Structure 1
């Protein structure tokens, strides 16, 4: 079983002429967060790189959602720091994150039910200021299903369509780092495969960095480059997704398959 020591995360690397090359867009260093007396994160360290999907895995209560909420500023840490492209953003406001290049898609597919698909996208674009037609067209090209329903009220969408809408809304911000919390929750396997396949295409084509929190470890590892396993708020393992997928002892111990 591959393990980290002192919660220090291994970063994935590419190679050019035999020399490792990495672009760490997001670095989390010794991050701890608490809800009252309960410590949800305990010294978590990891990195997420350009052109990579980093999957954060673990059982319910492991601290996965708290990790994303702390990175994006929704929860203030009691220790540690968050660095985005070399800038310490630990104390930055939630509202400033989009401008800094980070978008957070929380669990729950939060759309404004009374607004149309198109209006939901435009609300998401408000934080960026003026957004051109080409950028809206790009989202609709990525998600043809929501393009077909652009004039429909969001409450008429299926769960998969709502997930496509909230991801598309986040992409309008042109993030360098995309935080995704449980995008597969409640969706049919076919829709999950479609969404994860699209994420893989975006990462490969545009160099986007995705930090993906998932309960569905098998699906997440199938699309990720790196896996980080949390248990009770601590990093217990960080390794390549393929290595974690092949580690039967680890999968049984922490990932449930």
Structure 2
């Protein structure tokens, strides 16, 4: 579904990504792992058009989107959940979710296999949001805010979901709930997920493929199972 070739992203003299090649298979979870500063967030920001690369190409469903306007990405079937749980604090939970629905295909567009099409679907996946639908988003806990931003992205009916550090700062129970949800969405609907994570253990437990970045370069691309078994690589780059 997604082909990244020779992708190089710079911030002044610093190379955040250096000739990165990644293939994301349709209907699978691809986990991008690495320490702070490895280039993981820069990768997602470049793919979604928030940052322009210095070189290389990004191809989605066979179409070169390297220079496409960032506002067109949702219409192309891509939704990006950035790090930091960016809700609109003064709006209610339901108002935040309705913003996500604005990016969904209209009835005249080609049909997508979308697991979340309505508010009822979103509340079914995240019952805690239904209980708080009329509360302002700033009153939610960290875990509830993460649920909200994921649900808002899913309401745009993406075929490709970019998730940046969804476990950051959350309790282990909430992390397990969110990762189980992502795994279920992929299994049930064929959603494709590019997951950036520092929590390598949790990410590899649900991913099909694991990619390790170090200082902006791809160190290894392997099946998630092979990465879990490779003790030397885990100790060297993943910290477990």
Q: Which residue of 1 aligns with 2:47?
A: 71
Equivalent position of 1:231 in the other structure: 214
Query: Residue in 2 aligned with 1:115?
Result: 91
Separation of aligned partners in 2, 1:129 and 1:229: 34
Bigger drift between 119-128 and 68-77 goes to 119-128
Match of residue 192 from structure 2: 209
Shift of 1:127: 2.9
Pairwise CA distance, 1:240: 0.5
Secondary structure at the aligned position of 1:55 is classed as strand
- Contact 2:4/2:59 (CA < 8 Å) preserved in 1? yes
Unaligned runs of 5+ in 1: 1-24
Q: 2:64 aligns with which of 84, 88, 97?
A: 88
Across the aligned residues of Structure 1 and Structure 2, the Cα RMSD in angstroms comes to: 1.3
1:97 aligns with 2:73: yes
| TM-score after normalising by structure 2 | 0.94
Structure 2: runs of 5 or more not aligned: 108-115
Distance 1:145 1:50 in 2: 30
CA contact (8 A) 2:105 2:157 kept: no
Moved over 6 A (4+): none
**1:49 to partner: Cα distance:** 1.6
**Cα offset for 1:129?**
6.8
Correspondence list, 1:1-257, <5 A: 25-128=1-104, 135-257=118-240
- The answer for the alignment partner of 1:14 in structure 2 is none
- Counterparts of 1:216 and 1:233, CA distance in 2: 18
After TM superposition, give the deviation of residue 134 of structure 1 in Å: 5.5
Shift of 1:47: 1.1
Residues 129 and 207 (structure 1), Cα distance of their counterparts in 2 relative to 1, 3 Å cut: closer
Query: Per the alignment, do residues 192 and 104 of structure 1 end up closer, same or farther by CA in structure 2, a change over 3 Å counting?
Result: same
